[in-house]
Amino acid sequence: MPLGREDILKLKDLGEPVRLHVPEWNDDVFLRRPTANDRDAWELYCQEHAKHPKKVWRAKLASMLLCDQAGKLLFTEKDIDSLGERSAAALHRIWEVALDLMKVTEKEVAELEKN
Amino acid 15 reads: G
Q: What is the mean pLDDT of residues 39-59?
A: 82
pLDDT tens figures, 55-99: 578 999 999 999 999 999 999 999 999 999 999 999 999 999 999
Task: Determine the pLDDT at residue 71.
Answer: 95
Task: Determine the pLDDT at residue 95.
Answer: 94
- Which domain does 87 fall in, by range? 15-114
Q: Within a domain: residue 78?
A: yes
Instruction: Tell me how many domains the chain contains.
Output: 1
59: domain CATH number?
Answer: 3.30.2220.20
Name the percent of the chain lying above pLDDT 70.
95
User: What global pTM score does this model have?
Assistant: 0.85
Q: What is the mean pLDDT of residues 101-111?
A: 83
